[in-house]
Copies of this chain bind each other. A is one copy, B any other.
């Protein structure tokens, strides 16, 4: 009995306040645990490759990764960053439209799509969770479209920072430790590394941020960041 439950108690993704597992009964969790395979990867490794067959989904348990899409022309767009509790791969397309690349050591549960869907048919709660994950992803992509279509470089950065505050575990206004580099931020916001750097410098000059080291950011004027980031 304790055998299928074991992974439940170990991974952050399986017991945290995570959209997929929220409010699930013990039995559902056991079924999920039984079908999930824990994968452990390190920096730069791919959880899945763009255009590879997509019969599985991922639930990030620890670490950080980015969902990226690379065109044949070699341009890269980061569709999103994912953190513990995040769920990726929710669609029925036969192939992944993106790759998922680790930013640091990552552990993730890989779940066969068909099995998950079959279980969802039997668990109304799980089905609800899947729905709300889909809705959340859709809302986030709409935000990103608005951001890319309408906002300036420094505004995009502020939006990005608020998003990190909201989603990156451990991030506080007084100290955001970024797991990704400037190039990744640039490819997420539709900018270049130089523009990211310059925009950060501008926000620093204006007293809105400070940058103790390049990988860490301190928000000194939260109201200003919010105002610049606003897309509502």
Could you tell me which A residues sit within 8 Å of B by CB distance? Answer: 69, 71-73, 75-77, 79, 91-93, 97-98, 131-132, 134-135, 137-139, 141-142, 144-146, 148-150, 187-190, 230-232
Residue pair B149, A190 in contact (C-beta under 8 Å):
yes
With A134-B134, A145-B77, A149-B77 known as contacts, the answer to whether A139 contacts B71 (CB < 8 A) is: no
How many copies of this protein are present in the complex?
Answer: 2
- B146–A91 touching, CB < 8 Å: no
CB-contact partner of A189 in B93, B137, B139, B149, under 8 A = B149
Instruction: Give the complex CA separation of A189 and B145 in angstroms.
Output: 10
What CA separation (Å) do A93 and B138 show in the bound complex? 10
Q: Across the interface, name the chain B residue whose C-beta is closest to A146.
A: B77
User: Is the CB–CB distance between B144 and A145 below 8 Å?
Assistant: yes
Q: Which residues of B contact A72 (CB under 8 A)?
A: 230, 232
Contacts of A142 in B (CB 8 A): 69, 79, 97-98, 141
In Å, the complex CA distance between A232 and B93 comes to 16
* A150 touches which of B71, B93, B149, B230 (Cβ 8 Å): B71
- Chain B residues closer than 8 Å to A71, beta-carbon distance: 146, 150, 230-232
Q: Are B91 and A230 in contact (CB under 8 A)?
A: no
6 further contact pairs, Cβ within 8 A, besides A79-B145, A148-B149, A148-B190: A72-B230, A77-B145, A77-B150, A97-B142, A144-B145, A148-B148
A97 CA to B136 CA in the complex, in Å? 12
Chain B residues contacting A149 (CB-CB under 8 Å) are 77, 148, 187-190
List the 9 closest pairs (A to B, CB-CB), nearest first: A149-B190, A148-B148, A77-B146, A75-B150, A77-B149, A141-B141, A91-B135, A148-B149, A92-B135
Closest Cβ–Cβ distance, residue A189 to chain B (whole Å)? 7
